[in-house]
Amino acid sequence: MSPEMFSTRHSGGGTIMIWGAFSFNETMELQVVQGRQTAAGYGEMLQRASLMTDNPRLCGNDWVFQQDNATVHNAHPTKNSFHENSVTLLDPPACSPDLNPIENIWGWMAREIYKNGHQFQTVDALREAIFTTWSNIPASLLETLASSMPKRIFEEINNNG
């Protein structure tokens, strides 16, 4: 069996919530989510990430933004902000864990960050490892995941999603 099957992580030492986005060949700057996420806070974070600009640097002119069905994502202020900034959204199915490729990125990062049983003594050390790992995501992984979207969407439609 794979060693990942038996990995454990110490808990209770603090947490950090991160937001990230990527395209075919590049990642956007990670954002640390402070406290409980609200629609207003989510909108501010998207502004900091430069998502709500005319042309986010990583996306060019022809792009679609994908997010899940979290409450803050579906709030009226959030939807209005996307509309006002001409951001095209991919309508998420009600339950679709396999559709969003960012989940594959988070899994890859967790394996990298905690490989060989690595543990962190402080949230700052964990934050540093997260940001370092994010900046070292292989371009081939981004390309593979972005290129997988047509197939993911086709399978979702095929499964009546």
Of the ranges 58-67, 98-107, 144-153, which one carries the lowest mean pLDDT score? Answer: 58-67
Answer whether residue 36 shows pLDDT above 80: yes
Answer whether residue 32 shows pLDDT above 70: yes
Q: What percent of the chain has pLDDT over 70?
A: 80
Nearest to residue 158, comparing CAs of 91, 103, 96? Answer: 96
Centroid of chain to Cα 133: 14
Maximum distance among all Cα pairs of the chain, rounded to whole angstroms: 51
Measured in Å, how far apart are the chain's first and last C-alpha atoms?
A: 33
Dihedral Cα 135, 139, 145, 151, nearest 10 deg: 160
Residue 6: predicted pLDDT: 42
Contacts of 97 by beta carbon, 8 Å cutoff, 6+ apart: 103
For the ranges 6-10, 70-74, 103-107, 153-157, the one whose mean pLDDT is highest? 103-107
Answer whether residue 161 shows pLDDT above 80: no
* 133 band by pLDDT with thresholds 50, 70 and 90: very high
Residue 3: predicted pLDDT: 46
Task: Tell me the C-alpha distance between 15 and 124, whole Å.
Answer: 10
Centroid of chain to Cα 20: 4
Q: Which amino acid is at 11?
A: S
